[in-house]
Amino acid sequence: MSNFADFQNEIYLGGLGGVLPELPMTAAGLEARAERELERSAFAYVSGSASAERTASANRAAFDRYRIVPRMLRGTTGPGARDLSVEVLGTRLAAPVLTAPVGVLELMHEGGEVITAEVTGELGIGTVLSTAASTPMEEVGAVAGAWWYQLYWPSDDDLARSFVERAERAGASAIVVTVDTPTLGWRPRDLEVAHLPFLHGKGIANYLSDPVFLDRLAAPPHESQEAMQAAVLTWIGLFGNHTLRPADLAHLREWTDLPIAVKGILHPDDARQLVDAGADAVIVSNHGGRQVDGSIAAIDALPAVVATIGDRADVLFDSGVRTGSDMLIALALGAKAVLYGRPWVYGLGLAGRAGVRHALRLLLADFDSALGLSGCATPGDLNRSLIVTSR
């Protein structure tokens, strides 16, 4: 049974006359406050998208064209009436949400990945840990509840294999291969402040703690500044894999027994090829508009992918989710779960642990409320019949 929607009672009924929340109560409010309070280059890195940022805007605008047609008198609104839990890729979640993999969380808060893993564990949802994390995966795995490992497949298969085997040993329960970022998109906000965190040795903790990566270096990176610079140069050479093809999933399948999800898919033919090549799931995502500006809004790409492979593999979704209704729409269109991106990252930057918790509880409460008020008791009750498009 879920009681995420009780968050509002805490606020209205807390104390005698209600408790004013310390943080904004919307994702948009968190972003606005983050823009005011966070360091410029850190905010630029998180908020920035590719080029004119049309796809980032389209991700939001497209949601607005899908409308929910709620059902009434179904007994789904009372105490204990709903159960939000789901099982996705063999992972049990208290609600169909995982935090999206977001690299370089140290820009927001030291120990950001550990905090996020602990908070998601407390809430019973999942977290996807980025290859570009600021904390080695073993430290995160030691405190996390349900977590998946996101692989940026480097141009060195020994290193890729090492990452995957480390993740499995550290307790990850699925591997998410992100395929839309063999190289970074054109990101004016970062360019304007000439800031790429990796070149400052940030977001490469999983590399610096990897025996295969260390083996590629002439000297241990922490020995001197020159050695660290050499490590960063090695990282530049290894980060992207431009030769990766769907058939390479067969290697991943040899390296691990964990379920494999491929993230960054928009075209149904890509989804089909990847499922043919052995993917257990695809994640429809345009990386929050950070890669190809002008590309299709992620929610507009979801229905065709579900129609093409939904009977053979799970489809998950991210890019532009900001409210419970966004989540509801994505699930009603066939996603099994959503990955939640920027809003909790702003929460982390604004208020550390309390901020991540606040941002995630906003989404969960909003979704719980929207689900019940739409006449659904579980995420499994959601389907296309609850959605119309308004052009």
Give the residue numbers annotated as catalytic, written as ranges. 287
Closer CB to ligand FNR, residue 130 or residue 256?
A: 130
| 127 touching ligand FNR, by CB under 6 A | no
| 350 touching ligand FNR, by CB under 6 A | no
For 9, 82, 151, 263, 388, the CA distances from 370, given in Å and listed in that order, are 16, 11, 33, 27, 16
Closer CB to ligand FNR, residue 324 or residue 341?
A: 341
CA distance 175 to 351: 30
Q: What is the number of residues in the chain?
A: 391
CA distance 42 to 107: 6
For ligand FNR, the binding residue among 24, 96, 103, 185 (CB under 6 A) is 103
- Are 383 and 332 in contact by the 8 Å Cβ rule? The answer is yes
Q: How far is the CB of 349 from ligand FNR (least distance, A)?
A: 10
| 259 touching ligand FNR, by CB under 6 A | no
- Are 178 and 154 in contact by the 8 Å Cβ rule? The answer is no
Q: Which stretch binds ligand FNR (CB under 6 A): 90-98, 114-122, 254-262, 317-325?
A: 317-325
Strands 338-340 and 97-99: parallel
Phi and psi at residue 332, to the nearest 5°: -65, -30
SS (H, E, C) 310-336: CCCCEEEECCCCCCHHHHHHHHHCCCC
For ligand FNR, the binding residue among 5, 42, 46, 331 (CB under 6 A) is 46
| 100 touching ligand FNR, by CB under 6 A | yes
| 45 touching ligand FNR, by CB under 6 A | yes
Closer CB to ligand FNR, residue 235 or residue 372?
A: 235
Closer CB to ligand FNR, residue 297 or residue 372?
A: 297
Running DSSP on this structure, what letter comes out for residue 6?
G
For ligand FNR, the binding residue among 127, 150, 173, 273 (CB under 6 A) is 150
Token pair recorded at residue 5:
């929607």
Q: How far is the CB of 77 from ligand FNR (least distance, A)?
A: 28
* Residues sharing a CB contact under 8 Å with residue 368, sequence separation 6 or more, in sequence order: 2, 3, 4, 5, 82, 84, 95, 324
Q: How far is the CB of 94 from ligand FNR (least distance, A)?
A: 21
Amino acid at 105: L
For ligand FNR, the binding residue among 280, 318, 366, 368 (CB under 6 A) is 318
Phi and psi at residue 149, to the nearest 5°: -105, 130
What residues between 194 and 253 interact with ligand FNR by CB under 6 A?
A: none
| 310 touching ligand FNR, by CB under 6 A | no
C-beta nearest to ligand FNR: residue: 341
What residues between 329 and 348 interact with ligand FNR by CB under 6 A?
A: 341-342
| 321 touching ligand FNR, by CB under 6 A | yes
Closer CB to ligand FNR, residue 66 or residue 82?
A: 66
Q: How far is the CB of 259 from ligand FNR (least distance, A)?
A: 16
DSSP string, 144-181: -SEEEEEE---S-HHHHHHHHHHHHHTT---EEEE-S-
Fill in the per-residue mask, 275 to 304: x = in contact with ligand FNR (CB under 6 A), - = not in contact. ----------x-xx----------------
Fill in the per-residue mask, 176 to 195: x = in contact with ligand FNR (CB under 6 A), - = not in contact. --x-----------------
| 130 touching ligand FNR, by CB under 6 A | yes
CA distance 257 to 50: 35
Amino acid at 57: S
Contacting positions for ligand FNR (CB under 6 A):
45-46, 100-103, 130, 132, 150, 178, 263, 285, 287-288, 318-321, 341-342
